[in-house]
Amino acid sequence: MFGYYLDLALRSLRRNKMLTALMVLAIALGIGASMTTLTVLHVLSGDPLPGRSDHLYYAQIDPQDIKGMDSSKEPPEQVTLIDGLNLLHAGRADHQALMSGGSVPVQPEQSSLDPFYVEARYTTADFFGMFDAPFLYGHGWTAAEGEAKARDVVIAKSLNDKLFAGTNSVGRTLRMAGVSFRVVGVLDSWQPNPHFYDLNTGSYAYGEQVFVPLQTMVELRLDRGGSTDCWGNGGGGVGNILPSNDCVWLQFWVQLDSPAKAAAYREFLVHYSLDQKALGRFQRAPNVRLPNVMQWLDYNKVVPSDVRLQNGLAFGFLLVCLVNTVGLMLAKFMRRASELGVRRALGASRRALFAQLLIESGVVGLVGGVGGLVLAMFGLWLVRQRPSDYAALAHLDLSMLFVTFVLAVLATLLAGLLPAWRACQIAPALQLKSN
Amino acid sequence: MDILPILSTLRRHKLTAWLLILEIALTCAIVCNAVFLIGQRLQRMDMPSGVAEHELLQIQVADVTTPSNPYARLAEDVALLRQVPGVQSVASSNQVPFGVSSSNGNIRLDPAQPERTLSATTYFGENIPQTLGTRLVSGRDLQSDDFVDVETAMKGLSTGDSKSLPHVTLITQTLAERLWPGQNSLGRLIYLTPTVGLRVVGVLDSLARPNAYDPAKAQFTMVVPLRMGANKDQSYVIRTRSEDRANVLAAAVAALKKADPDRVVTTKRSFDEVRRKFFQDDRAMAGILTGVIVALLIVTALGIVGLASFWVAQRRRTIGVRRALGATRSNILHYFQAENFVLATFGIALGMALAFGINLFLMTHYELPRLPAVYFPVGALLLWVIGQLAVLGPALRAAAVPPVVATRSV
C-alpha cells in the first residue's frame, strides 16, 4: 500500500506544481533559516573539552578591601599573583595551573621574515595535561623547570610550520622579545572553543602560538594582555611594573576527579581565605566560588545574545512557514474532496485516506528538508563570511544534519495532520451528489 | 460594500480563514519587533564619538625589546610624525573611542564612600583633546606641568606618595552633569583611589569611551594627565585633512619603520575603520533582520495568493451566478479585496497583541526598551498593503469569470 500511496502522492503533487513548489519553498526556507541559527547556537554553546570539563574547576576567592569595588556579591573573576602562587604551591588539587595571556614578539632566524607578534599563554606545568593539549613533538616543561624560570617554550603547530617548516623543532632556539628560548614541545592543532580557560581574550576562535612558564614571564616582564582589575591603591602595572597585589589578572584552574574532592577543595579555599584574613591580607569574610567549565561559561554568558535572538527569530519564521503550509495543504486536500469522496465510496477507510494524505505531506517535508539543508549550507556559508570571531566555526556536523531532516519531516507531518484529518471528515455521498 | 455576506462566507471556511489570520498575526508580530530592533541597531551605530572622525588615523607600533627610555622614544616618534607632510596634529593615547581596549576607573566623590558612584573610562596621554578634535566647553586644557610620568605615578600609588600623582582631570559634559546635576563642576574633586583626588579643570563637549556598549554610559569619560611611554598598547593618533588620510597613513608608517626597521606596526587604520569594526555586529544584525522581514512578507504574500486562488477556483460557480444575477466585474473584484481586508484586519489585531507579548519577553531577556506605539500602525499598514497586493491577481481572475459559468454543469 505504501508504494501505491506514494505514487498517488507524487501524481497529486505533480498535478498542481505551483502549489507544491510553494509548500516546498516555505518548508525549505523555514528549515534552512532555523537550522542555520541552531547550528551556530549548537557550535557556540558546545563543551570545549568533552569528557574532561566536569572535572575542571575555576577557583575564585575574594581578596578585595572592605570598601568593595562593585556592589555585586560575586568575588573577582580572576586572582592576584600572590594568591595564585600560594594556591599553586599548596597543591591541594589533583592538578592545578595558574595562567595569564599576552603577546610576544618573535624574531625569526630567517632574514626573510620580519619580526612579528604572536599570542602567548604564560602558565604552569600542569596546563597541558589538565587541558588534554596534544603534543606533536616533545612535551611540556616540568614544575621544577617552571620554578627555575627556565627559558622553555612550547609552540603551536602553525608556528612550527612557519618557522621550522613543520620539522621536529624540539631543542631548537626561538628568539622572543630579545631573549633566546629553547623549544621543548610542539603542540598538534589544538583550539578549545569557547576559549574557556581565559575568556578575556575573546571567547571563540582564539589560539595561542607560544606557551611560556609563568615564572619566566614574571621575571622577564613579558607583555601582558587581557583584563586587570584593581581596588584600593592598586596600580594596574605598566611597562616593567607588574600589577600590584591589589589587582587580579590571572586565572587559576584545578582538576578535581570526584565531587568529594571538589567539596574538599571548596573548603580549602574557605580556609585559605580565613588564614589570609588572620594575616591581615584579606579584609572580607570568605567568599569563594568553584564553578566547573560549563558553569563558568554559563556564568560568563559566552554565547552572544544576538545569536540567541537570531535563533528565536528563525524559529518564529519557521512557525509562519508551517502555518502557511498547513493552510496551503488544507486548500489542496479540500480541493480534492470529490476524488476523496469517490475513494471513500469505493470502500477506502478513513484511516487509509488519512495515511495516503500524510504520505503526501511527508513527501513535501522530505523535499523541503533537502531544500532546507541546501539553504542551511548556504546560510552557514553566509555566516562564515561575517566578521564576528565565531564566524569561522559555523559548520554543519553530522548530528545537526540528522536533526535537520527529522525536524523537516516531523514539521511537515505535523502540518499535514490537521488538513488530512479535515479532509477525511468529508461525507462521500455529498461529494458524489453534487457532480 | 456590505461586510455581512463576507463574514458569513468566512464562517463556512472557518479553519482556512483562521489559519490565514494566524499567519498574518505572526508575521505582523515578528515584523513589528524586527523593525523596532533594526531601529535600535541603526540608532546605536549612529552613536556620536565626539571626535573629528573623518580626519583621524590610528597607528600602534611595538618594539621587539623594551626601549631603555620609553618616554624619550615616544617623544621622538611624535616629533617624527609631526614632520610628515599633511599631518596637522599628533597625540599619544592609551585608547581611542570605539577602540574596545580600554582603561577604566571607579569614581568616588568622597574617598570614604563604600560603593563607587560609577565607572568611567580614563584617557592617558598628551594632546588628546586638540588632536581628536573635541571642544573644551569650560575651564582650561591640560598643561605640560600637569603631566606625571606613568611609572612615577604607579610607584607613588603603591607607596602612598600623593605628590607623584596627577592632580587634575578633564571630564565630559555628560559625566559632569551625572556627577553634579545642575551645578558647576569646575574645581570639584573626583577620587579614583582613596588617595588620589583629581580636580576638574576643564569640561569637554563630548568624547566617547572605547567600550561604548551601553549608550547611557558611553560618555562617562575622563582625560588624566599621565605621560605614557612608547609601548605596544599606546596609540599614535594623527589628525589630517580627510582627503589626505591614505597618503599620510602610508607616509607616517614608513617614517616610523625607517626610524627603527626592527619594530612591528600592529595597527594602522583610519577612524572610519575603527567605527566600522566596533559596530560590525550591529550592522550584520540589522542586515539579518531586514532579510527575515523580507522573507516573512514574501512567504505570507505567497500564502495569501495560494489560498485566494483556491477560494476563487472553489467559488467559480457562485461567482458565475452572481455575475448572471447582475453583479459587475468590479463588484466581484471588490468582494475579494474586501474579504482579504477583513482577514488582514483580524490578523493585524491579533498580531498587535502578539507583538506586545514578544516585546515584553525581549524586554526581560535582552534588556530592550518598550516597543513604541508608532511601530504598530507601521506594521498594520505594511500587512494591509501586502495583503491587497497578494490578493489582486486571484481577485482579477475571479472578476474575469464569465456569467455563463452559472449555466454549465461541470
Q: Residue A240 and residue A242: Cα distance in Å, rounded?
A: 6
Picking from B128, B141, B157, B161, the residue whose alpha carbon sits closest to that of residue B228 is: B128
**Whether residue A292 is found in the same domain as residue A318:** no
Q: What is the pLDDT of residues A10-23, one digit of tens each?
A: 887 788 788 888 88
Q: Rounded to the nearest 5 degrees, what angle is found at the Cα of A397, between the Cα atoms of A391 and A400?
A: 100
Q: Are B29 and B349 in contact (CB under 8 A)?
A: no
Q: Which chain A residues contact residue B285 at CB under 8 A?
A: 306, 309-310
Nearest to B158 among A240, A244, A386 (CB): A244
Same domain, A218 and A353: no
The residue-averaged pLDDT of A224-232 equals: 85
> Which residues in chain A have Cβ-Cβ distances shorter than 8 Å to B410?
435
**How far, in Å, CA of B137 to CA of B142, rounded?**
13
Question: A269, A299, A329: which is the final residue of a domain?
Answer: A299
Q: Which of A67, A330, A334, A390 to mutate to test the interface with B (most CBs of B within 10 A)?
A: A67
pLDDT tens, residue by residue, A377-406: 999 998 898 878 888 888 888 888 888 778
B253 in any annotated domain: no
Contacts of A200 in chain B (CB under 8 A): none
Q: Is the same domain home to A289 and A335? A: no
Q: List all residues of chain A from 106 to 125 with a beta carbon under 8 Å from chain B.
A: 107, 114-117
Q: Rounded distance, CA A156 to CA B363, Å?
A: 44
Rounded to whole angstroms, what are the CA distances from B397 to A385, B151, B315, B332? 44, 83, 12, 10
A433: pLDDT confidence band, cut at 50, 70 and 90? low
Q: Quick one: A170 and A290 in the same domain?
A: yes
- The answer to whether residues A257 and A348 belong to one domain is no
Please identify which residue in the block is written with the cell numbers 556598549.
Answer: B213
Q: Let me know whether A246 and A105 are in one domain.
A: yes
Give the pLDDT mean for A255-283. 93
**How many inter-chain contacts (A to B, CB under 8 Å) are there?**
159
The pLDDT of residue A435 is 46
Q: Are A96 and A252 in contact (CB under 8 A)?
A: yes
- Retrieve residue B51's grid coordinates: 571626535
Q: Check if the beta carbon of residue B371 is closer than 8 Å to that of residue B328.
A: no
Cell representation of residue B145: 606641568
Does residue A105 share a domain with residue A238?
Answer: yes
Of A299, A323, A345, the residue that ends a domain is: A299
Residue A14: other Cβ atoms inside 10 A? 9
Chosen for mutation from B40, B262, B288 (greatest number of chain A CBs closer than 10 Å) is B288
Shortest Cα distance from A18 to chain B (angstroms)?
Answer: 9
Residues 6+ apart with CB under 8 A from B372: B36
* H/E element, A199: none
Closest B-chain CA to A325: B303
Report the candidate in B127, B93, B125 with the shortest Cα–Cα distance to residue B227: B125
Check CB contact under 8 Å for B30 and A327: no
Instruction: Report chain A residues whose CB lies below 8 A from the CB of B210.
Output: none
Report pLDDT for A214: 96
In A209-302, the DSSP E strands lie at: 210-213, 229-230, 247-248, 251-255
> How many independent structural domains does chain A possess?
2
Cα–Cα distance between B74 and B58 in angstroms, integer? 15
Distance from CA of A379 to the nearest CA of B (A): 11
- CB of B288 within 8 Å of a chain A CB? The answer is yes
Closest CA to B204 of B177, B182, B226, B180: B177
Segments of chain B scoring below 70 in pLDDT? 1, 409-410
**Placement of cell 555585586 in the chain:** A72
3-state secondary structure of B16: helix
C-alpha cell at A348: 477506502
> Given CB atoms, is B131 within the 8 Å cutoff of chain A?
no
Tell me the C-alpha distance between B321 and B343, whole Å: 24
Partner residues linked to A56 by β-bridges? A255
| Element counts in chain A: helices (H) and strands (E) | 14, 11
Q: Which of B23, B34, B37 sits opposite A323 (nearest CB)?
A: B23
Q: How far apart are CA A313 and CA A244, in angstroms?
A: 47
**B94 within some domain:** no
Domain that holds residue A110: 53-299
Which residue has 479553519 as its cell numbers? B15
Supply A344's cell numbers: 471513500
Distance CA B376, CA B356 (A): 9
Kindly state whether residues A203 and A323 are assigned to the same domain.
no
Q: Nearest chain B residue to A17 by CA: give it.
A: B306
Range of the domain at B294: 4-46+281-407
CA distance B59 to B57: 7
Nearest CB neighbour to A105, from listed B62, B154, B288: B62
Pairwise CB contact (< 8 Å): A238 & B366 = no
A386 touching B (Cβ < 8 Å): yes
CA B156/CA B164 separation, integer angstroms? 5
B364 lies within 8 A of chain A by CB: no
- Residue A309: list chain B partners with CB under 8 A: 37, 285, 362, 366
B118, β-bridge pairs = B107
The answer to whether B145 touches B180, Cβ cutoff 8 Å, is: no
What local confidence, expressed as pLDDT, does residue A419 receive? 86
Of A278, A299, A320, which residue sits at a domain end?
A: A299
| Most B-contacting residue of A36, A103, A328 (CB-CB within 10 A), to test interface | A328
Q: Quote ipTM for the complex.
A: 0.85
pLDDT above 50 (res A361): yes
The DSSP code for A289 is B
Q: Is residue B153 part of a domain?
A: no
Determine how many CB atoms are found less than 10 A away from the CB of residue A188: 12
**Cβ within 8 Å of A, B 53-82:** 62-66, 70
Residues of A in contact with B150 (CB under 8 A): 238-239
Distance of alpha carbon B276 from alpha carbon B220, whole angstroms: 22
The CA distance from B298 to the nearest CA of chain A, in Å, is 10
- Which residues of A fall within a CB distance of 8 Å from B114? 67-68
Beta bridge partners of B99: none
Cα gap B149→B229, rounded to integer Å: 8
Residues A160 and A294 grouped into a single domain: yes
Q: Whole-angstrom Cα distance, residue A65 to residue B112?
A: 12
pLDDT score, position B390 = 93
**Would you call A244 an interface residue with chain B, using a CB distance cutoff of 8 Å?**
yes
Contacts 24+ apart (CB under 8 A), A67-73: A67/A231, A67/A232, A67/B113, A67/B114, A67/B115, A68/A231, A68/B114, A68/B115, A69/A229, A69/A230, A69/A231, A69/B106, A69/B116, A70/B116, A71/B115, A73/A287
CB atoms within 10 A of CB A329: 26
Average pLDDT, chain A: 88
pTM above 0.90, yes or no: no
Residue type, B121: T
A115·B280 Cβ contact <8 A:
no
Task: Provide the strand spans (E) within A195-264.
Answer: 210-213, 229-230, 247-248, 251-255
**Interface mutation target, options A19, A313, A364, chain B, most CBs of B under 10 Å:** A313
Nearest chain B CA: its distance from A113 CA (Å): 11
Cβ neighbours of B362 in A, within 8 Å: 309
Task: Answer whether B262 sits within 8 Å of A115, measured CB to CB.
Answer: yes
CA proximity to A120, closest of A89, A161, A156: A156
Residue B185 within any structural domain of the chain: no
CA A264 to chain centre: 30
- Reduced to 3 states (helix: H, G, I; strand: E, B; else coil), residue B168 is strand
pLDDT of residue B13: 77
**Residues of B with Cβ-Cβ distance to A320 under 8 angstroms:** 23, 26-27, 30, 296, 299-300
* Percentage with pLDDT > 90 across chain B: 64
Rounded Cα gap, residues A156 and A128, in angstroms: 12
Please tell me the total count of domains within chain B.
1
Most confident of A14-23, A73-82, A199-208: A73-82
CB contacts of A314 in chain B (<8 Å) are 292
Q: Which of A24-38, A278-292, B9-23, B277-291 shows the lowest mean pLDDT across its residues?
A: B9-23
Q: Does residue B310 form part of some domain?
A: yes
As to burial, measured by CB atoms within 10 angstroms (0-12 exposed, 13-18 middle, 19+ buried), residue A155 is: buried
| pLDDT tens sequence across A136-181 | 999 999 999 999 999 999 999 999 999 999 999 999 999 999 899 9
Residues A26 and A112 in one domain: no
Span B88-120, pLDDT tens digits: 999 999 999 999 988 888 899 998 888 889 999
Q: Which grid coordinates are listed for B183?
A: 551645578
Q: Is A331 in contact with B306 (Cβ distance < 8 A)?
A: yes
Q: Which runs of E-coded beta strand occur in A149-273?
A: 152-155, 173-176, 179-187, 210-213, 229-230, 247-248, 251-255
B26/A33 touch (CB, cutoff 8 Å), yes or no: no
Is the bond into A194 cis (omega within 30 degrees of 0)? yes
| Cα distances (Å, whole numbers) of residue A432 to A12, A344, A426, A428 | 20, 10, 11, 6
What's the pLDDT score for residue A72?
Answer: 61
The DSSP secondary-structure symbol of B8 reads H
Chain A residues closer than 8 Å to B20 by CB: 327
pLDDT digits (tens, 9 = 90+) for B312-362: 888 888 898 989 888 899 999 999 999 999 999 999 999 999 999 999 998
Q: How many residues does chain B have?
A: 410
pLDDT of A348 higher than 80? yes
Phi then psi for B371, rounded to 5 degrees? -65, 115
The answer to the question of residue B77 being in a domain is no
What is the distance in angstroms between the Cα of A59 and the nearest Cα belonging to chain B?
A: 25
Integer CA distances (angstroms), A168 to A97, A159, A186, B81, B128, in order: 26, 12, 8, 44, 49
- In three-state secondary structure terms, A133 is coil
When mean pLDDT is compared across A229-238, A345-354, B227-236, B341-350, the lowest value belongs to A229-238
- Per-residue pLDDT, A421: 87
Domain co-membership, A122 together with A213: yes
Residue B179 lies in a domain: no
A130 and A69 inside one domain: yes
